[in-house]
């Protein structure tokens, strides 16, 4: 069992979201798609990964471009970022996870963002993505606005916070957490057979 914590507006979640389904199936590992509000956690921690860091920001796009090419994923130049200002894509991703089509929505949302430069939660992107999945845009957006969806987002974000997650994408096998698309293979290996015992004591 592997928990995939992601956010529809997280750049590196793109790479992970389009790779994890196939890799997990090949490894025989059951996957749970768990969208969460990584921005809320990063704000709490004053973890401003990229703000005010143009050199690092530029590197990020080149790194994603290189890794997308290695994995055969679409790359169309840096897309808009940040995105999903009102958490609309997060609500849809959460609704989809609750209803069992979490992987389909996430894959379509990330592809739209990176391949077509349709930004999550901005303009008509949601309607476009939902229509592409054969789902009624208006009805689905209405369901995503329900209080149960907001409650689920808060619960999943709280679960991530409890695990010590501080960024997206992250992977969890029970309480063992892995941060970053570049740890996906390690997390899957761990899900099959951990190579260490219990975690070290907290560092003061």
d(CA 125, CA 127): 6
CB of 54 to a second copy, least distance (A): 7
d(CA 13, CA 68): 12
CB of 53 to a second copy, least distance (A): 6
CB of 67 to a second copy, least distance (A): 8
d(CA 137, CA 147): 18
SS3 27: helix
Nearer to a second copy, 34 or 91 (CB): 34
Nearer to a second copy, 149 or 184 (CB): 184
- The pairing of strands 31-35 and 2-6 is parallel
Nearer to a second copy, 4 or 105 (CB): 4
d(CA 188, CA 14): 18
Nearest residue to 175 (alpha-carbon basis) of 199, 193, 153 = 199
CB of 115 to a second copy, least distance (A): 16
Nearer to a second copy, 41 or 144 (CB): 41
Nearer to a second copy, 101 or 179 (CB): 179
Sign of the Cα pseudo-torsion (49, 53, 57, 60, in order): negative
Sheet of strand 176-179: strand arrangement: 31-35, 2-6, 170-173, 176-179
CB of 168 to a second copy, least distance (A): 13
CB of 70 to a second copy, least distance (A): 7
Nearer to a second copy, 19 or 183 (CB): 183
Give residues in contact with a second copy (CB under 8 A): 45-47, 52-59, 61-63, 65-67, 69-70, 77-78, 164, 166, 177-180, 182-183, 186, 190, 195-196, 199-200, 202-203
- The pairing of strands 176-179 and 2-6 is unpaired
């Amino acid at each position: 069992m592997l928990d995939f914590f992601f956010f529809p507006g997280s750049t590196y979640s793109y790479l992970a979201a389009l790779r994890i389904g196939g890799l997990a199936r090949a490894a025989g590992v059951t996957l749970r798609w768990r969208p969460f509000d990584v921005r809320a956690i990063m704000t709490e921690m004053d973890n401003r990964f990229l703000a005010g860091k143009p050199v690092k920001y530029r590197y990020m796009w080149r790194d994603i471009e290189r890794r997308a090419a290695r994995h055969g994923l679409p790359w169309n130049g840096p897309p808009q970022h940040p995105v999903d200002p009102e958490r609309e894509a997060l609500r849809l991703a959460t609704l989809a996870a609750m209803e069992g089509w979490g992987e389909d929505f996430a894959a379509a949302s990330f592809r739209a963002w990176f391949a077509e430069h349709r930004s999550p939660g901005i303009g008509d992107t949601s309607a476009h993505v939902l229509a592409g999945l054969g789902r009624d845009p208006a009805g689905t957006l209405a369901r995503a606005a329900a209080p149960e969806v907001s409650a689920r987002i808060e619960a999943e974000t709280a679960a991530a916070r409890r695990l010590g997650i501080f960024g997206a994408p992250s992977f969890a096998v029970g309480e063992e957490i892995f941060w970053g698309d570049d740890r996906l293979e390690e997390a899957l290996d761990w899900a099959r057979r951990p190579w260490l015992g219990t975690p070290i004591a907290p560092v003061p």
